[in-house]
Chain A
Amino acid sequence: MFFKHVTRTFARQWLTVLMLGVLLVVSGFIYSVMSLSVSALKEASDSFFVETNQEDFSLTTRFHITAQDLESDLGCSPEVQTPLVTLYHEDFACYEAVIESRRNMIEAAYQNIRVEPRFYKDTYIMVHDARHRSRILKDMNEMNLSMIEAGEYPESGEVAISRLYAQLNNLSIDDELMIGSETFLISGFVLFPDYNLPIFEHLYMFDSANQTFILMADSDFESFDATEHVEFAGIFDGEYDALAFETEMFSLLFVEQVVLTENNPRSGAIYAELDGSQALGLFLSIMIAVIGMIIVGVMVSKTMSEEKRTLGVFKALGVKPIEMVFPYLVAVFSFAVVALSIGYLFGFLLAPLMQSLYLRFYLLPEAEIGFLASNALIAIVLPTVIVVSLTFWRLYRMVHPSPILLIEPKMFKVKPVKAIWFKKLLSKFDILSVLQGSILIRQWAKVSVYVIGVFLGLYLAFLSLGMRDVFNRTMHGYYGEHFYESTVYCDFSDDCDSAGHEKGIEISVFANEQRATLVGLDADSEWYVLRNRAGESVVPKVSEGIVISRSFSDLTGLDVGDDIEIQAFGETMTLEVSAIAHVYPGEKIYYDRAVMSLLVTGDDQFFNRLYTESRVESMGSALIVHRTEMIEQLDDLNVWYQIMIYIMVASSLTIAVIIIYLLSILTVESKYYELSLFKVLGFNNKEISGVLLGGYMKINVVVFVVVIPVVFVSFTVLTRMLVAMFGIYFPLSIGFWDILFAGVLFGVVSLIGTTHAKYVVKKRSLQEALKIYQV
């Protein structure tokens, strides 16, 4: 009988229960979809990196002979500045001796490291009349081993390519592939642990549809007609100090770039990325769960308030408190388990889709998504325990008083001391304002719940709006700004002709003990665009000091006027930050190219980048990246990325809307007594709304105004935390239109909520209301 009563009680409040169910479903869904997809991927990636013995660091060395090379006994005497590629063709034994000598010097420069050269050749492949980039990698012996995902290891005349590239270009095993001018048979699909992320030296070349790495037999690699390049991969056999290691490496004249796997997006940062995604998902889920708890608390409290009389009757009849509480607990338990399980199930079903979105970005092995006990525990069991415990606590307190008090509840017995100071404050106001304030103060607990709930709901809405445009801010917007069309990478080429183009320099440095890219620009650059938040160009500021990117500023806390310490070219420079560029991708700092050039070569002509106004197809052996192609690729990627973001945004907004709506309804309905009494006395609707809802409207306005600065501050803190803890840059940000949108949404939802509540009240007889709520 009790169960029947409880079921009917909840059935009467079907809308509230339904919305609460949606809240729990979405909560379970968000957590499980994020967690399951990333956990499985992370687990598979962990095994992959261990099995293939992934490098701990990689070194890019100069592509020409340096004086330090000649200090070793090479068995040959090439001249300083001789390009390695020339040596490769004219004296291969000497070329091999240089590589071996560099390897020995690197191993000698820091304790307990092992180093192995990674040979590769860049070329083009033709697929369905399209020309795509490719990098042919020679398999290594000790580290960065290849992993065949499907098919066979390539024999002579065969190649293995990226599975994702094959999928996106309708290629299958046994298909023919034109690489350069030669035709190969695809024997299988391969993954590498070092170049599994963007290739071609560019951190943001994520596009797996237009580029692939290739594994071929050693003999085919040697004979393939393309320039061979070499980098050095290495492994630490023990603890290491990153700064000390990099300092030692840069003491070698031929070392141009040092990249640690752990903080490089090319490889190790995948850990951080996955961790970051997991953390973000967890953060959102916890936030949603907390909000869910508040709503559950409000609903249980409200439901029970209406049940007091019934419970009093039961109690008077001799029913034990636990007998009354038990059916409610069973109902809440069942409801929570079912709703959270549905959310978990949705998450489980959609996790492969989420994983495939990740795999559009990262070339990692596919992972089978299975049931994870720890995941289910967090997604279902933990929230259920909290919901049931909270319900038990509320119920037990509620059924504790004597039956008489339950049947004839008093509004309160204690003098509202807390109200006195407030009422003195209001004493000069109209009596309705006094009443409005008094009601709020008397119901301070409910008001607090309302304030916290609305605050969290609004925060969640802003959080989702803040995530909405992250991709554009970080990448797309960055490339869209510039006026140059092509970037020519001249690091490994002596064929770059700067005539008619703008020069640039890009090198890796330490700035305030943070790894950063130092970009040298000419102060009068017309095509390279950097703007501050106000939209003004800050390129000329490179001649006045250091311009830093917004991301670097967020990371270090540096602002205009602060000093920055840069370790580059074997010395430490202290410079003043002259401007902050509204640029997000990477930790970038910008300086005057000519000054940098003087430090490198003693004159002002040095460059390793060229920015061209119009498209340049080739420039010797230099690598060229086209901005418009990059934007097209990013647009393509953006679609997938946006799907992920919009899932989060839609879920968060749904939750926020439900919370605010439920709170509006529950809060207004709790004023049923006052509403009815005022109507009977002859107050009109406007006055009643003013007294009973006006206070909440004011609270809404205050909460909205307060939440905005909190959002701004917390976004900065969150962004820095994500960078510091997980190494990912996720610049949450909102603008005027976001605030306006949230404001309108908030207003409309509150209005709908209160209108609905008033409608419910209006439906009942006023006289009956007075009798039900008589004091």
Chain B
Amino acid sequence: MAIQLKSVTKAYGTGEVQVKALNGVDLEIKAGQFVVVLGPSGSGKSTLLNVMSGLDRLDEGKIVIDDYKIHEMEDKALTKFRRNHVGFIFQQYNLLQTLTVKENVLIGARLVDDPFDVDQLLEDVGMDAHAVKYPFQLSGGEQQRVSIARALVKRPKMLFCDEPTGALDESTGKNVLAILQKLNRSYNTTVLLITHNASIAALADVVVKMNSGKIVDVAKNTPIDAKELRWSE
């Protein structure tokens, strides 16, 4: 899916204590691109993800994803949009602790009419051997892989990843990124990944840098293979 942002503004608070988390952001992402958003804490990265995915509302501007005018959509329509087109991956995995690995993925599959085969997807992310385990029996990297499988099972056209490797060590982080890269290439899924870790930018087709609610740089990049990534914090 192609994404287009025009003069997007989002503020929190009112009056003197008002903080502009996004201040006139313009951005274009083509379908199937792997985009990495870099920036320090408070730069507006998470807010950008929130408004693009329809989790939060923008104050001004326009967000158009393919034919969907996100800025005009009601809650109900946004829910349907997320359900059919968007996958999320979080830093803390956010798995349901009461369900097994497979059941967590089945929850994602339940959302659409034509999901991927759950067993196949678990195999793709290397979790087929752990299908009946509960999240607390898994390592952080394994949980994140389940989270990825849950996000992808519904064949999303876009994948929003908020610090997906933030809680992982280098080796595990690289594995997770490798899976994301593979899925991006295999299924032409648009990936928007937010991170503090500048080295991850090497995987991106486009690198977006943010500061104080503004995009300060957009650079095209020739991505390297995740296994070749030089990890730095």
Interface residues of chain A, those whose CB is within 8 Å of chain B, are 410-413, 415-416, 419, 430-432, 434-435, 438-439, 441-442, 674, 677, 679-685, 765-767, 770-771, 774-775
Contact = CB atoms under 8 A, between A and B. Distances in A.
B98 A680 contact: no
B95 interface: yes
13 contacts: A416-B98, A431-B107, A431-B110, A435-B98, A681-B82, A681-B83, A681-B107, A681-B108, A682-B154, A683-B79, A683-B83, A774-B91, A774-B92
Interface in B88-103: 88, 90-99, 103
B86 interface: yes
B106 interface: yes
A439 B98 contact: yes
A79 to B, nearest CB: 95
Contact of B137 (A410, A415, A430): A415
User: What 10 pairs between A and B have smallest CB-CB spacing?
Assistant: A682-B83, A438-B98, A774-B92, A682-B82, A411-B97, A431-B106, A442-B98, A767-B50, A684-B79, A767-B55
Given A434-B99, A442-B98, A684 B136 contact: no
A680 B151 CA distance: 11
A443 to B, nearest CB: 9
Interface string B45-59: 010001000011000
Nearest to B88: A680
Nearest to A440: B98
A683 B111 contact: yes
B134 interface: yes
A751 to B, nearest CB: 21
Contacts of A416: 98, 134
A684 B83 contact: yes
Nearest to A766: B55
B227 interface: no
A405 to B, nearest CB: 14
Given A767-B56, A774-B90, A679 B134 contact: no
Nearest to A762: B75
Contacts of B80: 682, 684
Interface centre among B90, B98, B134 (most CB of A within 10 A): B98
Contacts of B98: 416, 419, 435, 438-439, 441-442
Contacts of A770: 90, 92, 94
B92 A775 contact: yes
User: Most A CB atoms within 10 A — which of B46, B94, B95, B108?
Assistant: B94
A439 B99 CA distance: 9
B220 interface: no
Contacts of A679: 79
Interface string B181-220: 0000000000000000000000000000000000000000
Contact of A775 (B50, B84, B94, B108): B94
A300 B170 CA distance: 42
Contacts of B83: 681-684
Nearest to A774: B92
B76 interface: yes
Nearest to B154: A682
A413 B98 CA distance: 11
B103 A435 contact: yes
Contacts of A430: 110
B90 A435 contact: no
A435 B94 contact: no
Given A432-B110, A434-B103, A770-B94, 6 more contacts: A411-B97, A415-B136, A681-B108, A682-B83, A682-B84, A766-B55
A432 B46 CA distance: 30
A435 B88 contact: no
A766 B86 CA distance: 15
Contacts of B95: 775
Given A435-B96, A680-B88, A683-B83, A415 B103 contact: no
B180 to A, nearest CB: 18
Nearest to A432: B110
A114 to B, nearest CB: 78
A685 B76 CA distance: 9
B134 A415 contact: yes
A674 B94 contact: no
Nearest to A439: B98
Contacts of B88: 680-681
Nearest to A411: B97
A432 B106 CA distance: 9
Contacts of B109: 431
Contact of A765 (B56, B79, B91): B56
Interface-central residue, B93, B95, B103, by most chain A CB under 10 Å: B103
Nearest to B106: A431
A680 B83 CA distance: 9
B113 to A, nearest CB: 13
A767 B84 contact: no
B79 A682 contact: yes
A774 B163 CA distance: 13
Contacts of A412: 97, 136
Contacts of B97: 411-412, 442, 775
A480 to B, nearest CB: 57
Nearest to B81: A682
Contact of A774 (B86, B94, B135): B94
Contacts of B94: 677, 770, 774-775
A323 B107 CA distance: 44
B137 to A, nearest CB: 7
Nearest to A410: B136
Nearest to B102: A431
A416 B96 CA distance: 13
Contacts of B110: 430-432
